[in-house]
Amino acid sequence: MFVVRPFHKFYPPISFLVLKNSGGKGKGMKCYFVDAFTETIFRGNPAGVCVLDRWIPDSLMLDIARENSLSETAFTVKNQEDYVLRWFTPGGEIDLCGHATLATAYILFHFYGLDNNTVSFKTKSGTLIVRRKADLYEMDMPAYSLKSVPVTEEMEEAIGFRPLEAWMGRDLVCVLKDEEQVLQANPNENALKRLKGLLLHLTTKGRDFDCVTRSFAPKLNIYEDPVCGSGHCHVVPLWAEKLGKAEVCAFQGSKRTGILYCQMNGKRVLIAGKAVLYAVSELFISNELMKAK
pLDDT per residue over 89-121, tens digit each? 999 999 999 999 999 999 999 999 888 899 999
Is residue 72 among the annotated active site residues? yes
Q: Tell me the C-alpha distance between 293 and 129, whole Å.
A: 31
Exposed/middle/buried for residue 120 (C-beta within 10 Å: 0-12, 13-18, 19+): middle
Confidence of residue 16 (pLDDT cuts 50, 70, 90): very low
Q: Is the pLDDT of residue 73 over 50?
A: yes
Q: Which candidate in 39, 72, 153, 247 is catalytic?
A: 72
Share of the chain above pLDDT 90, in %: 84
The answer to whether 137 touches 275, Cβ cutoff 8 Å, is yes
Q: Is the pLDDT of residue 208 over 60?
A: yes
